[in-house]
Amino acid sequence: LTSRLPDVGTTIFTVMSALATEKGAVNLGQGFPDFHCDPALVDAVADAMRQGLNQYPPMTGVPVLREAVAAKVEAIYGHRYDANTEITITAGATQGILTSVLCCVHPGDEVIVIEPAYDSYVPAIQLAGGVPVYVQMEVSAAGYAVPWDAVAAAITPRTRMIMINSPHNPTGTVLRRADLDKLAAIVDGTDILLLSDEVYEHMVYDGQRHESVCRHPALAARAFVVSSFGKTYHVTGWKIGYVAAPAALMAEFRKVHQFNVFTVNTPVQYGIAQFMSNPAPYIELPAFYQKKRDLFRNGLSNTRFRLLPSDGTYFQCVEYSAISDLPEAEFAKWLTTEIGVAAIPVSAFYHEARESGIVRFCFAKRDETLELALQRLGRL
């Protein structure tokens, strides 16, 4: 059998979580909370099940949830999507990304990927027969930034799509209005589409706001915007999210979606729709996670790790050259095995392992978990 994805192995998240379990390490590797979601959300889903809402929902998602998403996006970003024609509920952001790519990337089309990049992007492009074109973020003491000149230079007549991700996994970088303006200038006059991965949209800190492409009409007009309820409501295992896009793009998206998953489980959709009628959980999320970020950063300030900025997401990147000269993957294993704290090597987010001496920690953990990790990391 000739593999469709010859370069793909087991994801780094699975590898590091397995090692963390085997070694009894505190798992700050794979990004998921170690605390419970709001019991009211569980009740809302259980109520839907008890009411018998257990059969196939519409292919595009239940109308109340699509409507709740449209209302939220309009309230926050001021852009109105038509809930009937422009929003589809997906099996997590991962399926939203794959389906967006499959529905518009043809064999030989180029897709610009900005590295470090979330690990599902490139396989999605390859499954479509597309060609990933890589641009690397710049790393400096001030953190990671997208070099828009390099993005512009990577465009060719074959460029079909540019993928962006803000707040950014793994670096915690948050795009600003000026970034979106530069991107808009780059794509102006072309038919290049955008995939905007905004799964961490509700995790932006220090009073900054999330610059969704929905705020930028020229970008929204050509974008698939992907989000995930797993991140926002502390339920990563529920694997549910959504994609919003202009009707013409969404029509193509749905052609693939209906044969990809057809639809997404019914009671969770109703439960989330009901829970979303209260905006407090996502409005309060930045303060909730900012406290955890600060607790973690303060603890690390007594170590030889150099902290990079974390303006959004629930990730903190650290540079470790004062502690070790091991390559990132080796250092992450050493941390897990010898220090008892698992991390993710940032090199795993590049197509050609690139060593910057940086690993990523996830701080979406109970304070006790973070304190235990800090106690262990405090030796370094």
State the binding partner of 88 from ligand PMP, ligand GLN, none, CB within 5 to 8 A by kind.
none
Our CB check for ligand PMP shows the closer of 118 and 296 to be 118
Residues that bind ligand GLN (CB under 6 A): 11, 13, 30-31, 169
CB of 321 to ligand PMP, least distance (A): 26
Our CB check for ligand PMP shows the closer of 94 and 316 to be 94
Residues that bind ligand PMP (CB under 6 A): 31, 92-94, 118, 165, 169, 197, 199, 228, 230, 236, 239, 241
- Closest-by-Cβ residue to ligand GLN is 31
- Closest-by-Cβ residue to ligand PMP is 92
Our CB check for ligand PMP shows the closer of 60 and 196 to be 196
State the binding partner of 93 from ligand GLN, ligand PMP, none, CB within 5 to 8 A by kind.
ligand PMP
State the binding partner of 11 from ligand GLN, ligand PMP, none, CB within 5 to 8 A by kind.
ligand GLN
Question: What is the arrangement of strands in the sheet containing 306-307, beginning at the earlier edge strand?
Answer: 306-307, 315-319, 358-362, 344-345
CB of 26 to ligand GLN, least distance (A): 15
CB of 167 to ligand PMP, least distance (A): 9
Our CB check for ligand GLN shows the closer of 44 and 240 to be 240
Our CB check for ligand GLN shows the closer of 237 and 279 to be 237
State the binding partner of 230 from ligand PMP, ligand GLN, none, CB within 5 to 8 A by kind.
ligand PMP
Our CB check for ligand GLN shows the closer of 97 and 175 to be 97
